[in-house]
Copies of this chain bind each other. A is one copy, B any other.
Amino acid sequence: MFNLKKYLSQKQAIIDKMLDEIINHNPSSLSSRIVSAMNHSIMAGGKRLRPILCISACEVVGGSEEKCLTTACAIEMIHTYSLIHDDLPAMDNDDLRRGKPTCHIAFDEATAILSGDALLTLGFQVLSQKSNDLPEEDVVKRLDIIHQIAVAAGYKGMIAGQMLDILSEGKKLELEELKQLHLAKTGALIEASIYSGAVLGGGTESQISKLLEYGQNIGLAFQVTDDILNIEGDSDLMGKSVGTDYNRDKSTYPALIGIAASKQFAATLIDSAVKALEVFDMEAEPLRAIARYVIERKK
């Protein structure tokens, strides 16, 4: 019987260790405040969903963890930068994240903006790091991965999603518009995480295509569940305030179709995600368990 809790905590430990090595290795006296702020936000006990998906996708196609660990960490840096900037007073104005003061509260706005910028840039620095023994075939793959991650994180992906999210406060979106917003804001980087792992692991085109189908479904389910937790969740468990979507008059799945239908929708998405994994055997148990976890989680 596959033990998800053990799997997640093992992967989290490996990811945390590598993140610490990357950020705190060879420090520069010029940047000590930025490094403190980067550490504050990235070491705040995140779920590491994106890097774990990257590693799991690599492993499901037969690749080893080492093949994609730094890539997985780069993606977590890019995710964390987006959280730091989204929390800023000019954006969502959140004081609490993962149970800790957000970066601009713990430091100040200028430091938060710059440390977000720094994590984004460090992500690309890590992605383009030359391994001495990288075969040329892998150099081509690496360039492709950098490109796909940049597209996913960029102005037609994650950044478009965040802009739309802000612009749509107080407006009632159509269901299809809300879906597009979430696919951009959350789905694109989750898909890019899975794509990167699968490519580095040596997945075939048809394997990668199935994994992306899985990724798109869990990405959307993740966001629907976030919307539900923002209403029903325990703020102590989650380490952030609840009810904020309602207070900001945000369009969410529960606001548009109700809580019961939202839960049903999330469950349907997870069914589709698991179905996309039918081409795999037991080696996809981690991805199947993660899919269920995405809607069953309490934080």
Contact = CB atoms under 8 A, between A and B. Distances in A.
Interface string A77-119: 0000100010010110000000000000000111101111110
Contact of A147 (B35, B114, B130, B161): B130
A146 B124 contact: yes
A174 interface: no
Given A30-B156, A155-B31, A110 B90 contact: yes
A155 B85 contact: no
Given A139-B143, A155-B38, A160 B128 contact: no
A163 B128 CA distance: 24
Interface string A134-148: 001001101110110
Query: For this complex, into which size category does the number of interface residues on chain A fall?
Result: 35 or more
A263 B209 CA distance: 61
Number of copies: 2
Contacts of A184: 30
A122 interface: yes
A109 B124 contact: no
Contacts of A111: 163
Chain A interface main SS type? helix
B109 A90 contact: yes
A153 interface: yes
B155 A35 contact: yes
Given A30-B156, A31-B156, A150 B122 contact: yes
Contacts of A235: none
Given A90-B108, A136-B140, 8 more contacts: A30-B180, A34-B159, A91-B110, A114-B159, A121-B153, A127-B146, A128-B143, A128-B147
